[in-house]
A and B are shown apart, each in its own frame.
Chain A
Amino acid sequence: MAENVERTTKTHTADRGSRTGNFFKAVSAVVWKDLQAEFRSRELFSAMLVFSLLIILIFNFALELDIKTRQSVTAGVLWATFAFAGTLGLNRSMAIEKDRGCLDGLLLAPVDRSAIYFGKVISNLAFMLIVEIIVLPVYSILYNVNLFQAGLLLVILLGSIGYVGVGTLLSAMSVQTRTRDILLPILLFPVVIPVLLAAVKASSGYLTGAEFSEILLPLNLLIAYDIIFIAVAFMVFDNVVEE
């Protein structure tokens, strides 16, 4: 019976010869869609930003520190802020897809599903980096610490990539459950501990003026973690989003 079904050809869709081209087209479509929708609603971005500013304000009042101690806690406070605000953004980013059935719409597209993953990673990373760009000068003013060092900015970029890479995969998993809001941090924080530890260690090294040889190990760990987890996410995303 099944063998008698004839294969059909397409009219409106382009030839599927250039799979790489289609992949990047799909990635850019997802990024464009997320940025355009967020530009209109500003739901995700404003929630992340307000939450981040509140956290650094609370830490500022809770820890009445002298200048020397401030420098030593800065890396921890910064990464705690980024991690909490990032979770908020990751949850919301995937919830938008799920609430109106849009995740099914994405999964129905005839593209490699890892294109959807990379599209979501890029847009989530963009939101996180924008929040970080705003938070850093505010933090600098409140704590009187200079955060604008090339090395530190590189660590923030690498740490954010690792955090968002894993977070996007786990949010795609948790969004399928009823307890998605509480499940994501429970799943994410244990997995992302190596990123946060390496990022705090490397950031602290730059802020306290440590030797580059001391910073090199956590920096290498961050790079290795980014590569490994994005590669794993690339391989398993298809299975994670399917029922």
Chain B
Amino acid sequence: MIAVKKLVKRFGLKTVLRGVDFEVQPGEFVALLGPNGAGKTTFLRILASLSRPSLGEVKVAGFRLPNEAAAVRARLGVVSHLPLLYGDLTAEENLRFYARMYNITKMEPRITEVLEMVGLENRRHDLVRTFSRGMQQRLAIGRAVLHDPDVMLFDEPYTGLDQDASSMLDDVLKTVAAKGRTVVMTSHDLARAEELATRFDILSRGMITASASPTDLRRGNLLTFYKEALAG
């Protein structure tokens, strides 16, 4: 579903990604872990067609980036730590706007379905700026799944959420993943990554330095694996 070959990204003289090879099979949930400044967000932005690779080959859902970016974007849902929502529009209006941008057929039933999925059906007519951070993040997930994408990218979705909001987000993420979607999530929260992901990749100094599945790890050993990968 995602295939990246020898990806290099430079900003001026600074090289952020140094030949990343990365492959994700359909239905996999990959947690991309790494320290601050490792290049996780840059990597996700390239997969999302928001940034162009300097070198290398990137394919998402069978389409090459950046040449077939529009086709990739039609099959991609992105959630970041920013909500990507308009505070002066209601929850329903935000979804309606994005539904029109994605040219979604049967818009109204789909909006209702998504609002029910993220548990915001009773707040559909409220302005988004009145929402708590957790509610905004749930609506952001609703926005991202509105067009039923095959691939979902989550960039630090738990940033700024309290325990309750994080738990609710867990449930929504599990629902999203249960639909057989391919998910790539960056996170600093190892416990949550361990609970959700089917594979853990470590991105360090601009390269994937280690990869493991839950069966490769003994229970509760992701932290050790992570530390060893960073040290190595």
Genuine A/B complex: yes
| Chain A interface residues toward B at CB < 8 A | 1-2, 4-8, 10-14, 16, 22, 25-26, 28-30, 32-33, 36-38, 40-41, 96, 100-102, 104-112, 242-243
Tell me, yes or no, whether B143 is within 8 Å of chain A by CB: yes
Q: Cβ of B105: which chain A residues have Cβ within 8 Å of it?
A: 12-14
Q: Cβ of B85: which chain A residues have Cβ within 8 Å of it?
A: 100, 102, 105
Q: Are A7 and B100 in contact (CB under 8 A)?
A: no
**Complex Cα distance A217/B103, Å?**
44
Q: Are B103 and A108 in contact (CB under 8 A)?
A: no
On whether A110 and B71 interact (CB within 8 A), knowing A36-B89, A40-B127, the answer reads yes
Q: Are B78 and A104 in contact (CB under 8 A)?
A: yes
Q: Cβ of B86: which chain A residues have Cβ within 8 Å of it?
A: 33, 37, 96, 100, 102
CB-CB nearest in chain A for B84: A105
Q: How far is the CB of A51 from chain B (nearest CB, A)?
A: 20
5 shortest interchain CB distances as A-B pairs: A101-B82, A7-B62, A105-B84, A29-B100, A110-B74
**Complex Cα distance A243/B57, Å?**
18
Q: How far is the CB of A229 from chain B (nearest CB, A)?
A: 25
Q: Are B52 and A243 in contact (CB under 8 A)?
A: yes
Other-chain contact of B51, A22, A30, A105, A243 (Cβ < 8 Å): A243
Other-chain contact of B23, A1, A110, A112 (Cβ < 8 Å): A1
Q: How far is the CB of A76 from chain B (nearest CB, A)?
A: 36
Interchain Cβ contacts under 8 Å between A and B, 12 examples = A12-B105, A12-B146, A12-B147, A26-B100, A32-B100, A96-B86, A100-B82, A107-B50, A108-B73, A108-B78, A108-B84, A111-B103
Q: How far is the CB of B30 from chain A (nearest CB, A)?
A: 15
Tell me, yes or no, whether B59 is within 8 Å of chain A by CB: yes
Q: Are A108 and B70 in contact (CB under 8 A)?
A: no
Task: Name which of B1-9, B187-195, B220-228 contacts chain A.
Answer: B1-9
Q: Cβ of B61: which chain A residues have Cβ within 8 Å of it?
A: 5, 7-8
Other-chain contact of A104, B2, B57, B76, B82 (Cβ < 8 Å): B82
Add 17 more A-B contacts to A1-B3, A37-B89, A108-B48 (CB < 8 A).
A2-B5, A5-B61, A7-B62, A10-B74, A14-B103, A26-B103, A33-B89, A36-B89, A37-B86, A41-B88, A100-B83, A104-B84, A105-B85, A108-B78, A110-B102, A111-B101, A242-B50
CB-CB nearest in chain A for B61: A8
CB-CB nearest in chain A for B74: A110
Other-chain contact of A111, B3, B70, B82 (Cβ < 8 Å): B70
On whether A112 and B3 interact (CB within 8 A), knowing A26-B100, A37-B88, the answer reads no
Q: Are B97 and A243 in contact (CB under 8 A)?
A: no
**Complex Cα distance A243/B83, Å?**
20
**Complex Cα distance A10/B48, Å?**
17
**Complex Cα distance A13/B57, Å?**
27
Q: Cβ of B71: which chain A residues have Cβ within 8 Å of it?
A: 110
